[in-house]
Structure 1
């Protein structure tokens, strides 16, 4: 999206302030420094190179071992996008997600035939929703289906530690009791669940969450939330990006401005979680101080000067009481 410059705007100070604000919000990074631009450029170059390599491998795939290696490569590329999603402009993020979706569809097509195989060609057409990949290890299948209300490609995540496909459950994980805290954790396809995560973890990914309550300790890096409805999240993180959230409350402590996109009916309030040891964990994670950014939300689908109608603040009289999850054990 083209940025406005001083040469193309009115000299009216109010107009100039408006253009400056819109230009800032069109970028998915809080700063427009050359370092940020180089970071995005380096990522895109790495992504393009890896994508080309995977396409070449798919065209030459002749064995099950080849498929396993390709699946691992696609998973690594998905993780790379997830880790860089906060810094990417919205257009570039969508483009990368579309490319991964195409690779996943191509992988499914390749896996159904194995030998003999014709030279592979890419198509933009997405795989049919009711078509299951054949002859593929279920441990390698990581794709996430689009929601009914949004048919665009969604982010796929690595098949690793996490809670998946649970309903009407209380789910507890204490990262202090394991080494997951140095890695990522995924919560996907949860309905009517209460989730309690204690201790520190590097990154969290949420996908297709329905009518759930999620309470977490400090996240050292970023949180990526995709397709959530009628839920409540209490999170402390350095970066939080939210896609396709509806009728959901977020209680946050965050060092940068939260980002929402394709969301509506979402509300925000300050973090209100306690358990034994959390204060020290927050300090060690550089989250010990309240920044107030929970109230400074950027809606990348609302570029007008007035307040976005898609999000608001929870009135103080409606805030939850301090939530103590000390009693919940694995």
Structure 2
């Protein structure tokens, strides 16, 4: 036995003397172990707060089931209304056109409320429920269009000759203007704010067009949707309550302030310039987002998406931003939350857009006065 080993041996008859010391050491180790477990538990709870389990942490009045109950009740109300209206087919002078239009307008309001409900609840809903509800709303809009064409047949379309260079006459309906600028490929559809049933509440199924819509402050604030666009430029001026974006490819979308939520799904190769209180992005590929937002942007199932600060201007945008409580730059545009990335390190699905690659300030005021030909 070496001298070192001898030095490490306990002295003879020392068992009784050293027992209390071993017991004390065990208690110290237990205390350290308990403290470590407590720290790990606190870290876990902090992590859950950052990536909440929505079913557990969501208040009862904001639970998914509560939302679905409200949504289904509203959907049944729309179905009932549409069923009743479909029985009001004009028969000579027996049907009151004013009554029919009033009923149709009430359905528009109900569907608009459904869109608002989804927009306001999107931050805690599972992505599957959001997609399902948006699909249901789209189906209801299609049913509304079908019933409208059934009870109020559209007039036959005819061209009107206009003198070259002459003043543009006001359309028969002052709230809707569909216009085309003479260009070899790209056209402009300029639609005014309207609750009219003859105008769709958004842009759908367009290709290689410039689509413009302006929302007047004194005309109310509504929801809007853009879907199934390819190679289009969309310019929305004024304040919106909610914006729904679905199935866009190689598009550029410039939007004024949104008071509620922006929901984006299935987009690829697009540029978005948006200001909103909440922004949720699902299934986006190779897209750039220039944002001003009052909460962390949420992405799911996205890759190669990049983020930069808001860069839009038009005449009156400062007032619109103030109305929407979006005047202040919060910096949340660079604080993206990837719901499908739970690790502590940076998600590889998004990055901050390098300054040298960012677009300059986009001015859409030039589309305020469009020649209607």
Q: Deviations over 1:17-74 (max 9, x none)?
A: 3552244313469x9574xx4233642432355568899x7xxx899549xx9xx699
User: Higher RCO, 1 or 2 (CA under 8 Å, sep at least 6)?
Assistant: 1
Distance change in 2, residues 1:203/1:98 (3 Å):
closer
Shift of 1:228: 0.7
1:203-244 deviation digits (Å, cap 9, x = unpaired)? 111111110111111111111111111000000011111111
Structure having the higher Rg: 2
2:115 to 62, 73, 79: 79
Given the two structures, how large is their TM-score scaled by the length of structure 1? Answer: 0.67
Q: Distance in 2 between matches of 1:178 and 1:215?
A: 21
8 Å CA contact retained: 1:218, 1:282: yes
Partner residue in 2 for 1:89: 125
Is 1:170 the equivalent of 2:210?
yes
**Structure 2 equivalent of residue 289 of structure 1:** 328
State whether structure 2 residue 317 is matched by structure 1 residue 278. Answer: yes
Q: CA deviation at 1:314?
A: 0.4
Q: Which structure has the highest helix share of the two?
A: 2
Provide the TM-score with structure 2 as the length reference: 0.60
Helix, strand or coil for the counterpart of 1:247? strand
Equivalent residue for 2:254, pick from 212, 215, 240: 215
Q: Does 1:11 align with 2:37?
A: yes
Q: CA deviation at 1:177?
A: 7.9
1:200 aligns with 2:239: yes
CA shift in 2, pair 1:99/1:225, >3 Å: closer
CA contact (8 A) 1:22 1:305 kept: no
Tell me the equivalent position of 2:364: 325
- What are the residue-to-residue correspondences of 1:126-137 with 2, within 5 Å? 137=147
Name the residue aligned to 1:39: 62
Q: Following superposition of structure 1 onto structure 2, how do residues 178-327 of structure 1 map, counting pairs within 5 Å? A: 179=219, 181-327=220-366
Q: 1:89 to 1:175 in 2, by over 3 A?
A: closer
Are the equivalent residues in 2 in contact too, given 1:81–1:96 (CA < 8 A)?
Answer: no
> CA 1:96 to 1:166, structure 2 compared with 1: closer, same or farther past 3 Å?
closer
SS in 1 for 2:257: strand
Q: Which runs of 5+ in 1 are unaligned?
A: 1-8, 112-135, 141-157
Provide the secondary structure at the position in 2 that maps to 1:209.
strand
Paired with 2:201 and 2:135, the residues of 1 have a C-alpha distance of 22
Task: Render the CA deviation track for 1:148-178: whole Å, top value 9, x for unaligned.
Answer: xxxxxxxxxx994211111111112121288
1:278-325 CA-partner distances (Å, limit 9, x unpaired): 112111210000000101111111112221111111012222112222
